[in-house]
């Protein structure tokens, strides 16, 4: 696996940096602004995200020079929001994405292309799929910061590399597992963010736990049908994944229920009457599910796999469907 470089210094990138440095790995770290670099260099913490996390100075080498960080590492961990990922990736020489091992901690699809990161890298740069690994939950950055027991799933086709990467993250507060389901695990991570926005809207509209449990059950059923159908259409000869494991169902549950969930928080604000712009400004970030809701409409049509619940969330976010009216219609779909 060699030297590791992290691209992105948000809460998720910071949490992953903590895990790796706690495990004795020194990291080169692309940090997008000088204030954050000064905080990491002089005070050994990220001044903007997970500020309680302290780093040993010899374990982190932050830099605003993307090319320098990429040149110094053998494995690139991409942990920027999906809305900005393509712009960051295209700043680098294409040889980076052909030669390095790529770990994706992106929990969305690239909105300009409606592609998962691996499909974008393969189509644009010829990235070998056996050099690509995705990270999925269930895992909130805030609980990693507190060293509360968490779980990560690493998905890749190269068993030796995938196991090596998973081992690099495994420790007393972080359990890891691995599988071969690069596409399904990532699509599940995309869909759960959309459903979590819906869960937040439902909470804001004063739906209770009883309805929410039925809503999430139906979301999982819809996700399962999508993953099964996509697998049959795209990878029919491959080993069938178990879609009942924590990378799929567990990640959906925690994202819909947890107060740490940014997508749920975003949905709650939408349900209270905030505009998308106002909610984004107040949260100081873009919820991954916002762009995912639009992207999955195209993907649903491309593969002819209906996503009725995700479509209602999309209409609330992008077509000005009144949330109350939307959920009155959703009520009739629940079982």
Domain total in the chain: 2
pLDDT digits (tens, 9 = 90+) for 89-110: 999 988 889 999 999 999 889 9
Question: What is the pLDDT, as a whole number, of residue 252?
Answer: 98
The reply to whether 173 and 241 lie within a common domain is no
The reply to whether 203 and 145 lie within a common domain is no
DSSP 234-246: H-TTSPPP-TTSI
The reply to whether 127 and 203 lie within a common domain is no
Q: Collapse the DSSP code of 275 into the 3-class scheme (helix H, G, I; strand E, B; otherwise coil) and give the result.
A: coil
Question: What is the pLDDT, as a whole number, of residue 234?
Answer: 84
The reply to whether 20 and 143 lie within a common domain is yes
Residue 8 assigned to a binding site:
yes
Last residue of a domain, one of 165, 180, 195: 180
Contact between 188 and 250 (Cβ < 8 Å): no
The reply to whether 69 and 149 lie within a common domain is yes
Residue 332 assigned to a binding site:
no
CATH of the domain at 164: 3.40.50.720
The reply to whether 295 and 197 lie within a common domain is yes
Residue 263 assigned to a binding site:
yes
CATH of the domain at 222: 1.10.1040.10
pLDDT digits (tens, 9 = 90+) for 267-301: 999 999 999 999 999 998 779 999 999 999 999 99
Residue 158 assigned to a binding site:
no
Question: What is the pLDDT, as a whole number, of residue 285?
Answer: 79
Backbone angles phi, psi at 101, to 5 degrees: -75, 140
Question: What is the pLDDT, as a whole number, of residue 236?
Answer: 63
The reply to whether 41 and 111 lie within a common domain is yes
Last residue of a domain, one of 180, 214, 239: 180
Residue 10 assigned to a binding site:
yes
Largest CA distance in the chain: 58
Last residue of a domain, one of 119, 154, 180: 180
Q: Which residue range forms the structural domain that includes residue 153?
A: 4-180
Question: What is the pLDDT, as a whole number, of residue 237?
Answer: 60
The reply to whether 165 and 190 lie within a common domain is no
The reply to whether 154 and 293 lie within a common domain is no
Question: What is the pLDDT, as a whole number, of residue 233?
Answer: 86
> Which residue numbers are catalytic?
192
The reply to whether 153 and 192 lie within a common domain is no
Contact between 241 and 177 (Cβ < 8 Å): no
151 - beta bridge partners? 175
Measured distance CA(149)–CA(142) in Å, rounded: 11
The reply to whether 49 and 163 lie within a common domain is yes
pTM for the predicted model, two decimal places: 0.96
Measured distance CA(231)–CA(63) in Å, rounded: 40
What are the residue ranges in the chain where pLDDT is below 50? none
Question: What is the pLDDT, as a whole number, of residue 263?
Answer: 97
The reply to whether 257 and 292 lie within a common domain is yes
């Amino acid at each position: 696996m060699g030297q590791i470089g992290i691209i992105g210094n948000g809460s998720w990138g910071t949490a992953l940096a903590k895990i790796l440095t706690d495990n004795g790995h020194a990291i080169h770290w692309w940090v997008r602004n000088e204030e954050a670099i000064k905080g990491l260099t002089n005070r050994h913490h990220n001044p903007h995200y997970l500020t309680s996390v302290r780093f040993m100075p010899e374990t982190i080498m932050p830099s605003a020079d993307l090319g320098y960080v990429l040149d110094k590492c053998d494995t690139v961990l991409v942990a920027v929001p999906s809305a900005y990922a393509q712009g960051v990736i295209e700043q680098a020489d294409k040889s980076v994405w052909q030669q390095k091992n790529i770990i994706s901690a992106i929990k969305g699809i690239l909105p300009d292309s409606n592609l998962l990161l691996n499909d974008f890298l393969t189509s644009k740069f010829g990235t070998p799929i056996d050099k690509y690994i995705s990270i999925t939950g269930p895992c909130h950055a805030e609980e990693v910061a507190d060293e509360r027991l968490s779980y990560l799933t690493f998905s890749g086709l190269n068993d030796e590399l995938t196991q090596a990467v998973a081992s690099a993250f495994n420790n007393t507060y972080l359990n890891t597992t691995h599988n071969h389901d690069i596409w399904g695990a990532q699509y599940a991570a995309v869909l759960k963010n959309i459903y979590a926005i819906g869960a937040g809207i439902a909470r804001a509209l004063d739906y209770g736990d009883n309805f929410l449990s039925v809503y999430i059950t139906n979301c999982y059923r819809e996700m399962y049908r999508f993953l099964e159908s996509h697998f049959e259409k795209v990878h029919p000869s491959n080993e069938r994944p178990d879609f009942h494991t924590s990378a799929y169902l567990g990640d959906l549950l925690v994202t819909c229920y947890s107060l740490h969930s940014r997508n749920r928080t975003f949905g709650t604000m939408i349900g209270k009457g905030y505009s998308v712009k106002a909610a984004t400004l107040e949260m100081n970030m873009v919820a991954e599910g916002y762009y995912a809701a639009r992207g999955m409409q195209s993907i649903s049509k491309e593969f002819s796999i209906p996503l009725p619940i995700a479509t209602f969330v999309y209409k609330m976010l992008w077509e000005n469907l009144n949330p109350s009216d939307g959920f009155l219609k959703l009520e009739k779909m629940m079982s």
